Structure 1
Amino acid sequence: MATEAQIATEARPVGQSRTFLTDLVFPPDTNHHNTIFGGKVMAYVDKIACIAAMRHCRKPVVTASSDSFDFLAPIKTGEAINLEAYVTWTHNTSMEVFVKVESENLLTGEKRMTARAYLTMIALDEQGKPTLVPAVIPETEEERLQHEKAKHRYALRKQRKAEL
């Protein structure tokens, strides 16, 4: 039988963490411009990042940081919000998760990129302490590019924390 450390160190493909979420934007979800509240989008992003990270490591996780959360376009009442998330890179106990948000006009089929973000999630053991996570294996060209650039984003996060 494999030990916890062995299981945590067995690399897993990005596809194991890839997660999708679609929801319809209703009037209570929107502001006076009839576009979804930014905080609502952020909550969706945090939730889907959590699911993707847990699928990767099969452990409870918490959000450690949210980087580069960029709102690119609004999502209007009556449109669908489509989210995709996956683990791009890991380091000991942390996982970087990329989340892409699109809007979809369900009547025309038009889709628009509306937001994107990188979140760092930390895996926890039974005592609530950080625990080892498996490495990630990128499979597609997009995943390989995300994986390569993740080391630089990790260094920037470390630098930002040191400056605080």
Structure 2
Amino acid sequence: MTHDRPAAAARSVNDSRTTLTELMIPSYANFGGKIHGGILLSLMDKVAYACASKHSGAYCVTVSVDNVDFMQPVEVGELVSLRGSVNYVGKSSMVVGIRVTAENVVSREVKHTNTSYFTMVAKGADGKPFEVPPLILESQEDVRRFVEARERRRIYFQSRELMQQAKQQFNWSEEAKKLKGERCRLKLKG
């Protein structure tokens, strides 16, 4: 890991908090009249970048997105607010938690539509990972989010390792036998 400058002092979760609010316009909608998931993902990525850059003081890139569950549709005309903050830091990586809500400005109804976690990596001027400041946890909520993010990362890496092992041990004829009862049909060629 390179260091383009001395390590920065620790920063609090509040230092990275970012809110982006945007009106959902007709060009964001799909044929069903609901806002495209890709539009929401793009906005989430912007918030994740803003949070991570504010914390690290560096250019950041998205390396993974965890738990993008679209719980409720977003409608044209609603105001979407994306609230994010850095929940966890490693050496050069940060997990940014984002909560997405949509508000109907006429009825004032606010609905929670998404919660996502973006893993961002800070990059130095040389394009290599850049060491980020430690995270100051100032509340029980900050501690809970840090611990949960750490656990999600552990599960992610454990899952990735298990999938790699399964790939190496894959026996297609044995696995094909296990497909009985699944909604697929084998029509192998050659």
The alignment's TM-score, normalised by the length of structure 2, stands at 0.80
Following the alignment from structure 1 to structure 2, what is the Cα–Cα distance between the partners of residues 158 and 144? 21
Which residue type is aligned with residue 6 of structure 1? A
Q: CA separation in 1, counterparts of 2:133 and 2:155?
A: 22
Q: CA separation in 2, counterparts of 1:34 and 1:138?
A: 41
Letter paired with 2:154:
A
* Residue 118 (structure 2) pairs with residue 122 (structure 1): no
Q: How does 1:27-38 map to 2 (within 5 A)?
A: 27-38=26-37
Cα distance in 2 between the residues matched to 1:93 and 1:12: 14
Q: Secondary structure at the match of 1:161?
A: helix
The 8 Å contact of residues 88 and 138 in structure 1, kept in 2 or not, is answered as no
The residue that corresponds to 2:15 in the other structure is 16
Alignment gaps of 5+ in structure 2: 165-190
TM-score by length of 1: 0.92
In structure 2, the partner of 1:97 is: 96
* Structure 2 residue aligned with 1:151: 150
Q: SS in structure 1 opposite 2:67?
A: strand
* 1:15-70 residue CA offsets vs partner (Å, 9 max, x unmatched): 11000000111111011221100011011111110010000001000001001111
Q: Is the 8 A contact 2:16 2:52 kept in 1?
A: yes
Q: Percent identity?
A: 33
Is the alpha carbon distance of 1:136 and 1:25 closer, same or farther for their aligned partners in structure 2, counting shifts above 3 Å? same
1:143 Cα offset (Å) = 2.2
The Cα of 1:156 is off from its aligned counterpart by: 1.6
How is 1:61-80 mapped onto 2 (pairs within 5 angstroms)? 61-80=60-79
Equivalent position SS for 2:31: coil
Displacement, 1:144? 2.2
Q: Say if 2:7 and 2:132, in contact at 8 Å, map to a contact too.
A: no
Which structure would you say has the larger Rg?
Answer: 2
Structure 2 residue identity aligned to 1:74: P
Q: CA deviation at 1:136?
A: 1.1
CA distance in 2, matches of 1:108, 1:139: 36
Root-mean-square deviation (Å): 1.4
Query: CA–CA distance in 2 between the matches of 1:6 and 1:41?
Result: 34
> 2:13 matched to 1:4?
no
Aligned residues: 160
Matched position secondary structure for 1:115: strand
Cross-structure match for 1:161: 160
Query: Which ranges in structure 1 are unaligned for 5 or more consecutive residues?
Result: none
Aligned position for 1:46:
45
> Which structure has more strand as a fraction of its residues?
1
Per the TM alignment, residue 126 of structure 1 is displaced from its structure 2 partner at its CA by: 0.6
